[in-house]
Amino acid sequence: MRHPIREPFAGGLEAHTWGLARALRERSHDVTVFAGPGCDPALDVQEIPVRWPRISAAARADVSMTADAWLEEHHAYLTLMLELSRTRQFDVVHNNCLHHLPIAMAPALPTPMVTTLHTPPTPWLESAIQTGPSAVTFVAVSEHTARAWRPSTAAQVIRNGVDLDLWPWGPGGGSAIWFGRLVPEKGADLAIRAAQAAGLALDLVGPIADRRYFVDHISPRLGPQVRYLGHLDRAALAERVGAASVTLVTPRWDEPYGLVVAESLACGTPVAAFDRGAVSEVLDRDCGVLVGADDVPALADAAERARSLSRAAARDQAVRHCSLARMIDDYESLYARLAGRDVA
């Protein structure tokens, strides 16, 4: 709802949903995608109406009146869930959003719901889960994320996957690269410091999701050795990642999965990363170097070591553990079980 599902993607959730829908259709499944306006036309999205609910002046004057954007999103999800409660068109509903209403209203649906947990626990989602016996089957994108949600719910682990054809092997040998959303929790400023300490040129790619952070902490450090290349579409980004000698991954939070790690490995580019969240579930010592959280000097040393690792090993790790095909296999099995069908 907050961001359209189209390239260049606002984040990993949008990329995941896009890849999942396309891959399922390629396997001859009928897929209906419900999302907000502005999505990739190839997804043939059934657009969720994004319109202001008609709130009277008296209601707006009430002390409980919330921000317009919050109310619009709430109204859109409420409308969608009521619509889904009145149809038997689907065998399974797969919920990838972070809003509480789909979970809270799942018991009203005539079809089973799968919800993928893409983030650490949030109070609104935990509250929705605790409203009563769950009508939702939960999936976590990593063991780390499953453990984080365990006090509220049990979740099957289906790790995210990337389309290996869309993230092809690259020659390497170029600058270091950092890519992702430019927000404080992703730590691009730490990557700049590490690259400078290691004497490496660094390219930054991604959407400026926090303008103040970019102005205060990124822009002043840009120059001949540190370049911001903008928010690139997937093909242009994959080319840059494949040309890089190493990818720096610098989360200040516990990554629920770490999609940039999988994408980098698919391109054959080794990774130097802070050991936060699920990053260690994707990397091994043949394709990456992990260091302690926020340890910039250690990351600078790790970047030098990672550059010498085998690009073939990096690609092999992606093929064996990070492929979209593997992810789709797992979701197909889950859908079939919930729909009461034999797995082909």
Instruction: For residue range 308-335, list pLDDT tens digits in order.
Output: 999 999 999 999 999 999 999 999 999 9
| Residues 162/324, Cβ–Cβ less than 8 Å | yes
Residue segments in the chain with a per-residue pLDDT below the cut of 50: 343-344
Of 53, 55, 9, 67, nearest to 35 by C-alpha is 9
Question: What is the reported pLDDT for 134?
Answer: 76
pLDDT tens sequence across 174-225: 999 999 999 999 999 999 999 999 999 999 999 999 999 999 999 999 999 9
pLDDT of residue 344: 46
93 closest CA partner among 141, 136, 37, 29: 136
Q: Which long-range contacts (CB under 8 A, 24 or more apart) does 28-31 make?
A: none
Q: Letter for the amino acid at 315? A: R
Cα 40 to Cα 234: distance, rounded to the nearest angstrom: 13
> Quick one: pLDDT at residue 342?
55
pLDDT, position 131 = 85
pLDDT in tens, 214-234: 999 999 999 999 999 999 999
Distances (CA, A) of 206 to 13, 20, 89, 164: 15, 22, 38, 20
Q: In this predicted structure, what is the pLDDT of residue 8? A: 87
